[in-house]
Chains A and B, each alone.
Chain A
Amino acid sequence: MTRQPHKTPPPVSAQQESFLRAHHRHHHRIALGRLVLLLLFLGLWETAARLGWIDSFFFSSPSGIVKYLGQMLVDHSFFTHTGVTLSETIASFFLVTVLSLFTATLLWYQNSLSEILEPYLVVLNALPKSALAPLLIVWLGTGANTIIVAGLSVAVFGSIISLYTGFCQVDPEMCKLIYTLGGSRKDALTKVILPSSVPLILSSMKVNIGLALVGVIIGEFLAARRGLGYLIIYGSQVFQLNMVITSIIILCAIAMVFYKLIQSAEHYYKKKY
């Protein structure tokens, strides 16, 4: 019986090897630094709370947060509130993406429309969207609708503007190529503008998910009985700072997961093309 010979890896020079080692070492050091910073912060916080340097009634403490989180998991309120915020954020993110893509496409397609709408878009984008929230409550009542629209309103105008600007910056010669090959403006859109804008669309999604979350939390502050934004407001009113800070930490985790998801979509796209 003969053994299949192992495929020998290509020889690596000593210099390359030391470069790789240095590269790995650098990365390990960065990761270690991040971890140490977090542990130091938590340790200092916990010590300060225990030794009475800060009042843990106002500032909470890592152990208090863990305890509260455990309690939330046991009584399932963690799943209710996080689930509500998550689903509202995803819904409004989805709406932002669809609506801004559609509008930016329409603006690109109809030049005069974009000229007509430009000042309105600029004003709506600059307007502090939290000013709209009371209006939304009157129109849509308190509940998921208001909150999803609040998230939408925060992200959608900026997203339209950035997508439309990106569409206009695509090399006009590429569109000319389409016309010389007998294509129409619609072909230029589907064969050139949209495919060449995928990186732009992904990066604008990265911004949008954060903004949608901001809008949803603003909405929940004002018009909700459930969700992390509600917990934060409620907790601050009844001086349950454990509740407030735990909710903020869950929000951090949500933001990070969303960001990582879109980042991995970006990596997937870059690898493919």
Chain B
Amino acid sequence: MQPILSLRDVSYSYHNLKGETPALLHISLQISEGSFVAVVGPSGCGKSTLLSIIAGLLAPEEGEVLYRGLSSKDYCADTALKIGYMLQRDHLFEWRTVYRNVILGLELTHSLTKENTDYVLKLLEDYGLYGFKDKKPSELSGGMRQRAALIRTMAVHPDLLLLDEPFSALDFQTRLSVSADIANIIRQTGKTALLITHDLSEAITLADRVIVLSRRPAGVKREMEIHYEISREDPLAVRGTAAYQAYFNQLWEVLTDDKTTA
């Protein structure tokens, strides 16, 4: 099957007057439809740059990004792959109600149809936010805010979800439940997701495949498939399995190995 996203030999550097800093070096990877992929790597290795390039906010200096086999120049807006991007912080606007926050994407793409707003209302109901739709974002808890941000992303029916450490601002307890919660929602809807994180446990609890990046300039160091015998609904149960421990140790070795060679 055609991968939903493939990167071919992508490189990117940041430039300033003092010189250039290579961030990504010859990155190639493929993501198949419906999979949940996590990208881990040392902090500051260029993970966010990678997401910005995939989202089309930055153009790669070398190489190309293909969406279902087409480059961004080849398709017109109607058939374009829709990409949803969840940022580190939820950035719900305090001057809008929760509802007006979650329809922001529809508003910006001029697609506020009855069908779409009904879908948003259904999402609000499914994720337990319907009663809060006319409240201000500051009245929501951290987990609810993250769910509202997810609805805002999902409202535009994205084919591919990019998650840029969306749980890093939450406290540990909330983080555990919200990350499992959101991963379940994404699995149920059959969306493809690419999660960036520096938390190894989070990566191997949530993802089907983990891609390890090397230090800056980042390249793909290792790819690991993750399988569990049990369902992933309960993050604590997953974290208790022997397989989890094995994956964790394996991943840890790959990452620390990186440090000694650097």
Contacts and interface: CB of A to CB of B under 8 A. Distances in A.
A183 B108 contact: yes
Interface of A: 171, 173-174, 176-183, 187, 191-192, 195-196, 198, 273
A237 B186 CA distance: 81
B91 A173 contact: yes
Given A176-B57, A273-B136, A181 B104 contact: yes
A183 to B, nearest CB: 4
Contact of B105 (A181, A195, A196): A181
Contacts of B95: 195-196, 198, 273
B160 interface: no
Nearest to B149: A177
Contacts of A183: 108
B257 interface: no
A162 to B, nearest CB: 20
Interface string B87-126: 1110101110000000011011100000000000000000
A182 B105 contact: yes
A183 B85 CA distance: 13
Interface string B27-43: 00000000000000000
B156 interface: yes
Interface residues of B, number: 20
B152 to A, nearest CB: 8
A191 B95 CA distance: 10
B140 to A, nearest CB: 15
Contacts of A198: 95
B55 interface: yes
Contact of B87 (A173, A191, A273): A173
Given A180-B57, A180-B85, A182-B109, A191 B104 contact: yes
Contacts of A171: 91
A181 B91 contact: no
Contacts of B84: 180
A95 to B, nearest CB: 27
Contacts of B55: 180
B105 A273 contact: no
Contacts of B94: 273
A273 B89 CA distance: 20
A196 B93 contact: yes
A191 B96 CA distance: 10
15 contacts: A173-B88, A174-B91, A176-B87, A180-B87, A181-B85, A181-B104, A181-B109, A187-B108, A191-B93, A191-B104, A191-B108, A195-B95, A196-B93, A273-B95, A273-B136
Contacts of A173: 87-89, 91
Main secondary structure of the interface of A (DSSP, over half): helix
Contacts of B104: 178, 181, 191
Residue in A174, A177, A179 whose Cβ sees the most chain B Cβ within 10 Å: A177
A178 B93 CA distance: 11
A181 B107 CA distance: 9
A166 to B, nearest CB: 15
Contacts of B152: 181
Given A195-B93, A195-B95, A273-B94, A177 B87 contact: yes
Given A198-B95, A273-B94, A181 B156 contact: yes
A107 B94 CA distance: 25
Contacts of B93: 174, 191-192, 195-196
Contacts of A196: 93, 95
Closest 10 CB pairs of A and B: A180-B85, A183-B108, A181-B105, A195-B95, A182-B109, A177-B91, A181-B108, A174-B91, A273-B95, A182-B108
A195 B107 CA distance: 16
A198 B93 CA distance: 13
Contacts of A195: 93, 95
A106 to B, nearest CB: 22
A180 B55 CA distance: 7
A196 B95 CA distance: 7
Nearest to B82: A182
Contacts of B107: 191
A179 B156 contact: no
Nearest to B80: A182
Interface string B137-173: 0000000000000001000100000000000000000
A179 B57 contact: yes
